[in-house]
Structures are given as structure tokens and as C-alpha cells.
Amino acid sequence: MVTGTPSKPGFRTKLVVFFSLSMALAPAKQFSVQLKNFQLELYFIELNYIFNIAL
């Protein structure tokens, strides 16, 4: 885990839910592409959030 992860309420919970969702959907081939796009989107949202806090 990145040390700069924001500790806003419910962030860790969302992360846990997201990863359990990933684990559940990963074996299904039809979901893999959408899941990758969603992970990328989540990553950019998190990056944007961290930059907004930093600036």
C-alpha cells in the first residue's frame, strides 16, 4: 500500500469492497476488460484526490 493514501472516512472500506469485488469478478472473462478500466479509473480518481489534498 502507498504511504500517501488519504485516511478519509470510509476510504479503507471502499478499498476492501473494491478488492473483494475484483476477486469475485476476476475469473469471469467478460468482466476482465471492464474491471481493468475500472481499476484504472479508480487509480486516477485517487491520484487526483491526493493531488487536491497536496495543493
pTM of structure: 0.33
pLDDT mean by block of 10 residues, the chain; 55 residues: 58 79 65 73 83 73
Distance between CA 25 and CA 28 in Å, rounded? 6
Confidence (pLDDT) at 30:
58
Q: Tell me, what's the pLDDT at 41?
A: 85
d(CA 52, CA 44): 12
pLDDT at 6: 55
DSSP 8-state symbol, 9: T
Say if residues 46 and 2 touch (Cβ distance below 8 Å): no
The per-residue pLDDT for 27 is 64
Helix %, strand %, coil % of the chain (to 5):
75, 0, 25
